[in-house]
Structure 1
Amino acid sequence: MNEKIIMPKLGMTMTEGTIEEWHKEVGDAVEKGEAILTISSEKLTQEVEAPISGILLSQDVETGDEVKVGEVVGTIGEVEGDIAEANGEEKEAVSEERVSSKENVEKVAKTEGERAKAKTLSNDRNRIFITPLARKMAEDKNLDIELVRGTGGNGRITKLDIKRVEEIGYDYEGENPSEQSAPPAMNVESIGEGLPSMRKIIARNMRESLAKSAQLTLHRKASANMLMAMQQKLREEIEEAELDIKITVTVLIARATILALQDYKKMNAIYHDGELIEYDEVHLGIATSLDEGLLVPVVKNAHHKTIGSLAKEIKAVSTQARGGDADVDLLSGSTFTITNMGATGVEYFTPILNAPESGILGVGALQEEFTLNSNQEVEMEKKIPFSLTFDHQILDGADAATFLEILIKYIESPNLLML
């Protein structure tokens, strides 16, 4: 009995994953639960485990390939004799998809040596590597794939390449569907080249976020005198009650942000695959710095939590992320993100959207300024600088300014956080 290995869905918005590395070769014995390959999505890298014990009969995709969620990436069988049969069916289908009409030299191999020899002969011919999805898209749009430069593994043409050609024209000389000269195509595979795995994923995510959205950042300060006074009072009362809760400024800002998102739902939205979804629920991402990079664990249903429970959960998810225990559920599903750089002394910055979210709030270092009070007397005032990045495709500057106004109302009138 054979068992297919499929591309899993690692997050709410994941539609495809990238094959990072195969840990087993065709013919190797595998145990149920053993890591067979590593895949990466928009936010993390994860190992795919063997669904059964047996022999790896086929690798239907190669390292660097982009595969849609639910598609088959390989096959495991219970007996070694199934290898030739599986390869005879699976490899022939793959070859028909990859090899141009001019070549027919790669035959189904029965041994590793024959497969290597056939691959060498095939590489000497003209080949067009293209994913099934990209081929279908090209056919639907009547595009000539010979004029498209593939940026996937082994120069494979992916759906991103088809979308690029549709928008800006062919990569090679020939008819241009948009009647524009095509600039050099960006090699997606080169993004983050030479960096550790996590940094490479971060590099790709940041570039993709900037490429798919029109990002703009607004900056504004809020008076924090009353907020800081509330924090001090809460700390004293918690200490007297001997409760194991730590109320930080981040927790209070998070609570204010949650209330502002419920008041102004335009900002509590995601824009993905041409669909805009506004959420009633607030799933708050908390950007968490690690030595090797950055993760964004998520506090689910944050709008249902009191200040105390919010403090506990922010601490829990951040600790889990830093400890290397972050799983798919912890890192997915956010509708809005907060990133706090106050501890570094930075006042204002331009945070990049945690795609596909519509907004991200940057929090800067607490400042002290001399101001005039209502009696025209000079006094020292604490202020918190905010940097709100939003997607200008779906929100205008006035929308972002309105959200900041609501947020600052809660920061400057912190008793409202108790409601």
Structure 2
Amino acid sequence: MSGTIVMPKLGMTMTEGKIVEWYKEVGDPVNQGEAILMISSEKLNQEIEAPIAGVLLNKNGEVEDELKVGATIAVIGEEGKTVLTNDNEAVQPTTAIEKPDNSDYTDVLVNKEEKTMKGDRLFITPLAKKMAKDNNFDMNLIKGTGGNGRITKQDIQRVLANGLDYKSDLPTQPASVDVEVVGEGLPPMRKAIARNMRRSLGQTAQLTLHRKANADNLIDFQKVLRKEIESTELDVKLTLTVLIARATVLALQDLKKMNSLYQDGQLTEFDEVHLGIATSLEDGLVVPVIKDAHQKTIGNLAREIKELTGKARNGEASGDLLSGSTFTITNLGASGIEYFTPILNTPETGILGVGAFQDELILTEKGKVKSVKKIPFSVTFDHQIVDGATAADFLTILTKYIESPYLLVL
């Protein structure tokens, strides 16, 4: 009996994860539920546990290697047993194989696609393979220094600096230069953000509309609710962000085209609203998700927003809390920003930017000058899915709820 550990999908946009640390080596005994390694996704670090008890038979990557979601990371089973690679070919991963000094192509390596010139197979991590292909390297001419002779990222970097390890009678193509790798050299979270933002801009036709709403009634409404909360001693922190979130949820239910996802060639409109709340961290940004926000009262929204954003800032939010949103809100009001152009959290159709309150003078119907507070909104939408008129309608509906806030509790 053996158990396979695969790279989990910790978020809707996650496509690969990085191995941060191995807690076990090949041949080490492990218990069911024991942490085997730590991975880093685009949003958080997470320990991966053993699905069964046994011996770690195979490691399919080294520290800093990146594997696609669903790729095999490791195999656990009985000591000495044969395990299967991703291509279902049997190998004995716990057997060390030494390569004679005078050999060119006698490496015993494993990979589901690449073969050596003498019919042997090739061990290479996914990241190393990509780097080798980007630089037009013959992978058979590279000495692997990882477990079982696996070619790793460090081996490719060595070859980039010093040249190929082995000679070949076959002509090789020159290495390409200036290969663009999005986020290369950045910390894991920033690299993931870079990739997500580039992917978002590359896959969608983004346009942003702006509008201000009179916030005076919303501020008065907040004061009334806060007074009621104090009289009942409820543990609720009622911020204006909570009320804007409630207004957004209602607007999305009124205009479901904005509460939709476009993914894998399929457009899905949702009755349910799963609201993402963009939360800034010291070194990046995450989006905890309020699931079924349309079913939450204002008080419940307040509690969940406080709880989930707190977990996100403390690095305690699990993958399921950071995925599954159908629409996102991002608020730069605390930074004094009025209008901005938020980038879509793909595959969502829209994202709402909230700016800082502004004092403005208006002329009343009686001809008197009055000072009011305005709140600026910026909605970015995918023009492939909806037109400007639809996004404008969304802002109109949202403004209705902001300026008539008692509708939020009906």
1:82 aligned partner = 81
Q: Supply the distance in 2 between the matched residues of 1:329 and 1:351 (Cα, whole angstroms).
A: 23
1:98 aligned partner = 114
Contact map agreement 2:342 2:352 (CA 8 A) in 1 = yes
One-letter code of the match for 1:237? E
* Structure 1 residues 38 and 201, CA gap change in structure 2 (3 angstroms): farther
* Structure 1 residues 128 and 418, CA gap change in structure 2 (3 angstroms): farther
One-letter code of the match for 2:32? K
2:54 aligned partner = 54
| Cα distance, 1:383 vs structure 2 | 0.2
* Structure 1 residues 68 and 199, CA gap change in structure 2 (3 angstroms): closer
Contact map agreement 1:35 1:49 (CA 8 A) in 2 = yes
Contact map agreement 1:262 1:280 (CA 8 A) in 2 = yes
| Cα distance, 1:10 vs structure 2 | 2.6
2:132 aligned partner = none
Contact map agreement 1:64 1:154 (CA 8 A) in 2 = no
* Structure 1 residues 27 and 104, CA gap change in structure 2 (3 angstroms): farther
1:139 aligned partner = none
Aligned residue for 1:375, secondary structure, equals coil
Aligned residue for 1:82, secondary structure, equals coil
- Name the Cα RMSD after superposition: 3.3
Q: Supply the distance in 2 between the matched residues of 1:86 and 1:303 (Cα, whole angstroms).
A: 47
| Cα distance, 1:4 vs structure 2 | 1.8
Counterparts of residues 4-403 of structure 1 (less than 5 Å): 4-11=4-11, 16-21=15-20, 23=22, 24-41=24-41, 43-60=43-60, 64-69=65-70, 71-79=71-79, 81-82=80-81, 89-90=90-91, 94-95=110-111, 97-99=113-115, 103-104=117-118, 106=120, 126-127=138-139, 187=180, 190-403=181-394
| Cα distance, 1:12 vs structure 2 | 5.0
Contact map agreement 1:350 1:387 (CA 8 A) in 2 = yes
Contact map agreement 1:3 1:76 (CA 8 A) in 2 = yes
* Structure 1 residues 256 and 108, CA gap change in structure 2 (3 angstroms): closer
Structure having the higher helix fraction is 1
| Cα distance, 1:200 vs structure 2 | 2.1
* Structure 1 residues 107 and 406, CA gap change in structure 2 (3 angstroms): closer
* Structure 1 residues 243 and 381, CA gap change in structure 2 (3 angstroms): same
* Structure 1 residues 262 and 251, CA gap change in structure 2 (3 angstroms): same
1:158 aligned partner = none
* Structure 1 residues 366 and 22, CA gap change in structure 2 (3 angstroms): same
* Structure 1 residues 128 and 334, CA gap change in structure 2 (3 angstroms): farther
Could you report, residue by residue, the CA deviation over 1:80-129 in whole angstroms, capped at 9, with x for unpaired residues? x236x7688247794462126xx1264699xxxxxxxxxxxxx9982499
Could you report, residue by residue, the CA deviation over 1:45-86 in whole angstroms, capped at 9, with x for unpaired residues? 4332222333322234566454353x533311232x236x76
Q: Supply the distance in 1 between the matched residues of 2:137 and 2:183 (Cα, whole angstroms).
A: 31
Contact map agreement 2:109 2:121 (CA 8 A) in 1 = no
| Cα distance, 1:43 vs structure 2 | 4.4
1:118 aligned partner = none
Could you report, residue by residue, the CA deviation over 1:307-361 in whole angstroms, capped at 9, with x for unpaired residues? 1111111111111212221001211111111111111111111111112111110
Q: Which runs of 5+ in 1 are unaligned?
A: 110-122, 130-150, 156-171, 174-183
Q: Supply the distance in 1 between the matched residues of 2:293 and 2:353 (Cα, whole angstroms).
A: 18
Could you report, residue by residue, the CA deviation over 1:273-318 in whole angstroms, capped at 9, with x for unpaired residues? 1111110000111111122221111111111111111111111111
Q: Supply the distance in 1 between the matched residues of 2:74 and 2:33 (Cα, whole angstroms).
A: 15
Q: Supply the distance in 2 between the matched residues of 1:128 and 1:349 (Cα, whole angstroms).
A: 50
Q: Supply the distance in 1 between the matched residues of 2:335 and 2:136 (Cα, whole angstroms).
A: 55
Q: Supply the distance in 1 between the matched residues of 2:290 and 2:209 (Cα, whole angstroms).
A: 25
**TM-score normalised by L of structure 1:** 0.75
| Cα distance, 1:409 vs structure 2 | 0.8
One-letter code of the match for 1:89? A
Q: Supply the distance in 2 between the matched residues of 1:403 and 1:32 (Cα, whole angstroms).
A: 50
Instruction: Single out whichever of 56-65 and 288-297 deviates more from structure 2.
Output: 56-65
Aligned residue for 1:381, secondary structure, equals strand
Q: Supply the distance in 1 between the matched residues of 2:349 and 2:239 (Cα, whole angstroms).
A: 26
Instruction: Single out whichever of 205-214 and 46-55 deviates more from structure 2.
Output: 46-55
Aligned residue for 2:207, secondary structure, equals strand
Q: Supply the distance in 2 between the matched residues of 1:212 and 1:124 (Cα, whole angstroms).
A: 28
Q: Supply the distance in 2 between the matched residues of 1:217 and 1:389 (Cα, whole angstroms).
A: 4
Q: Which runs of 5+ in 2 are unaligned?
A: 94-107, 124-134, 142-152, 158-172
Q: Supply the distance in 2 between the matched residues of 1:313 and 1:49 (Cα, whole angstroms).
A: 28
Aligned residue for 2:320, secondary structure, equals coil
Q: Supply the distance in 2 between the matched residues of 1:350 and 1:367 (Cα, whole angstroms).
A: 18
Sequence identity, in percent? 58
Aligned residue for 1:251, secondary structure, equals helix
Instruction: Single out whichever of 17-26 and 217-226 deviates more from structure 2.
Output: 17-26
**TM-score normalised by L of structure 2:** 0.76
Contact map agreement 1:43 1:205 (CA 8 A) in 2 = no
One-letter code of the match for 1:51? P
1:147 aligned partner = none
* Structure 1 residues 95 and 326, CA gap change in structure 2 (3 angstroms): closer
Q: Supply the distance in 2 between the matched residues of 1:211 and 1:52 (Cα, whole angstroms).
A: 41
Equivalent pairs, count: 351
Could you report, residue by residue, the CA deviation over 1:154-195 in whole angstroms, capped at 9, with x for unpaired residues? 69xxxxxxxxxxxxxxxx99xxxxxxxxxx9964xx333333
Q: Supply the distance in 1 between the matched residues of 2:314 and 2:393 (Cα, whole angstroms).
A: 37
